């Protein structure tokens, strides 16, 4: 059982799924997981989250989603919900919420607002910290 | 064998997520058979067992299909 922290700074489809897949695997292995969303990542923990592939690949998001569905991976919100059911902890960066125009009421349920100092405390207490984009 | 989990057709992380869920339904000492054809599972399942303390008793390979036998701790 380990404590794992992740930082997500981008809001695209790939950067949205990777931490959730890692987190769900870790939580299913008995780990305590904390994910901190900053900058463009912040919108991934809002009710309006609908991540698309980056750049021109954006057009292929639906196709990707379909392929993932075929191997048992649900859409973004389903995967997010699964992570919460597995006990993964989600945090939104307080400063970038302001920059990105995200209000507390826009956040998905049980997403906590956190500052850098509080997150760093979690990170130094962790066995691993992963930075996702 | 006390239970079988058929995770064929599922890819990482779903076999592990479902395995963790299934194991919770079983009692200590029971043996679970896991059927999986995700290539990643070959390394993932032993890693998961070593981290969670459940005993991997054996693996059988039938072409792409992997059969894991896991004794619940």
Residue A119 confidence (pLDDT) above 90: yes
Is B12 designated active site?
Answer: yes
Helices (H), chain A: 13-28, 61-70, 76-85, 94-99, 116-124
CB B64 within 8 Å of CB B37: yes
- Predicted complex ipTM: 0.85
In A, which residues are within 8 Å of B21 by CB distance? 28
Q: What is the model's pLDDT at position B29?
A: 97
Q: What is the pLDDT of residues B35-57, one digit of tens each?
A: 999 999 999 999 999 999 999 99
Q: Quote the number of domains for chain A.
A: 1
In B, which residues are within 8 Å of A29 by CB distance? 16, 20, 48, 51-52
Residue B25 confidence (pLDDT) above 90: yes
Q: Domain B3-71: which topology?
A: Translation Initiation Factor IF3 (3.30.110)
Residue A133 confidence (pLDDT) above 90: no
Residue listed under structure tokens 């990707």: A64
Closest CA to A46 of A93, A131, A104: A104
* Mean per-residue pLDDT, A36-55: 97
Q: What is the pLDDT of residues A15-32, one digit of tens each?
A: 999 999 999 999 999 999
| C-alpha distances out from residue B46 to A18, A120, B54, Å | 22, 32, 10
Q: What is the model's pLDDT at position A1?
A: 85
**Domain edges within chain B:** 3-71
Structure tokens, A93: 């960066």
CATH number at residue A123: 3.40.1260.10
The whole domain housing A109 covers 3-132
């Amino acid at each position: 059982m380990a404590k794992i922290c992740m930082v997500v700074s981008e809001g695209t489809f790939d950067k949205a799924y990777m931490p959730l897949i890692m987190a769900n695997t870790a939580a299913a292995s008995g780990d305590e997981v904390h994910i901190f969303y900053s900058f463009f990542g912040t919108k991934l923990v809002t009710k309006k989250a609908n991540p698309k592939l980056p750049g021109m690949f954006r057009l292929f998001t639906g196709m990707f989603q379909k392929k993932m569905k075929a191997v048992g991976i649900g859409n973004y919100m389903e995967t997010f919900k699964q992570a919460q059911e597995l006990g993964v902890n989600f945090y939104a960066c307080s400063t970038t919420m302001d920059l990105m125009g995200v209000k507390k009421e826009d956040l998905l349920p049980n997403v906590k607002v956190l500052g850098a100092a509080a997150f760093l405390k979690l990170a130094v207490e962790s066995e691993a910290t992963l930075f996702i984009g | 064998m006390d239970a079988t989990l058929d995770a064929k057709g599922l890819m990482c992380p779903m076999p592990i997520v479902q395995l963790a869920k299934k194991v919770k339904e079983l009692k200590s000492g029971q043996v679970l058979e896991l059927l999986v054809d995700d290539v990643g599972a070959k390394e993932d399942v032993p890693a998961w067992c070593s981290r969670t303390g459940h005993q991997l008793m054996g693996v059988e390979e039938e072409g792409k299909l992997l059969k894991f036998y896991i004794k619940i701790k």
